[in-house]
Amino acid sequence: MRKHRLRLVVAVAAVLVAAGAGTASPAQAHDTQSTLADLAERHGRYFGSATDNPELTDTAYTAVLGSEFDMITPGNGMKWYASEPEPGVFDWSAGDEIADLARRDHQRLRAHTLVWHNQLPGWLTDREWTADELRAVLKRHILTEVRHYRGKVYSWDVVNEAFNEDGTYRETLWYKTLGPGYIADALRWAHQADPHAKLYLNDYNIEAVGPKSDAYYRLAQDLRAQGVPLHGIGLQAHLALQYGYPATLEDNLRRFSRLGLDTALTEVDVRMPLPADAEKLAEQADWYRDLTAACLAVRRCVGITVWDWTDKYSWIPAFFPGEGAALPWDEEFRPKPAYAAIRQAFGER
């Protein structure tokens, strides 16, 4: 067990009591309890959480973030609008805060994300670009940002959400101006800037075998055949009880591994129609147990990241009105049945 987690787990127990957990169970409060990261490490995996800059002032929150997890992902601080708000003018403050936090707590960093169609600054979206112009802008951005974090990052989500649900390319600024080759270019430039970082393509609704995940499978085959530096596929796993569990998740992970690629569950949450009740929370726990087990069953599934760890800072209620309760801890930082289910999937008795 990592020494920093042994030191911090006492703080976690105190947080649970202070946050209203009251009489935390011995399994939650004992000062030698293994963290989720410790349990994952026994299987050669990581267990991580996303985080975002505004909540870092919440010391009760950062105590748990710094103890239970060995990988963190910046939710927003490395996206284009934050890192290059004006042409050629880079602002590393938000990203550096997360990187510094990871270093302080002896965690690794999944960097997110270099190329996306959302959260772009106005200077990119408010004008027309020629292919040569936009390609130069994209290359500059990737080389500059990846070089800035070189040596500090385990992996990059290089291209995010490139496909539609039917497996066709999403009509983004990048695709419409540069064609599908922008994906290979982005991967090559990221590798040039940091040859040691793992490079991922990342998307949602690709957990099950289907048209969208098939598109990634074909793209990955093509990129690998061309010698493009692609190392992994990130399955976001933003799941919802009302839409059913992706029963072919393990098969899907396995087929990407057969291409020589790592996989990771990168943005996990399991939302439900509110209010939450015991039945929904029990089903949610089953899903968290099953997705953890699916990753453990496939050797090249390297880890799991929840999209923040507490319902207090979940993105779900703002984007899916009437839904929520998606994470393993509730808004008062009390572990939910999902938390115990994850531990059980890792083999804790």
Concerning whether 250 is annotated as a catalytic residue, the answer is: no
Catalytic residue, from 41, 161, 207, 250: name it.
161
CB atoms within 10 A of CB 96: 16
Concerning whether 161 is annotated as a catalytic residue, the answer is: yes
Q: How far apart are CA 14 and CA 7, in angstroms?
A: 12
Cβ atoms of residues 265 and 291 within 8 Å: yes
Cβ atoms of residues 250 and 300 within 8 Å: no
Q: How far apart are CA 208 and CA 250, in angstroms?
A: 8
Tokens representing 321 are: 């009105």
Tokens representing 265 are: 């569950």
Q: How far apart are CA 283 and CA 277, in angstroms?
A: 10
Q: C-alpha angle 321/334/207, rounded to 5°?
A: 55
Q: How far apart are CA 271 and CA 322, in angstroms?
A: 10
Tokens representing 283 are: 């089903």
Q: How far apart are CA 289 and CA 344, in angstroms?
A: 7
Catalytic residue, from 68, 84, 250, 267: name it.
267
Could you give the residue numbers annotated as active site? 161, 267
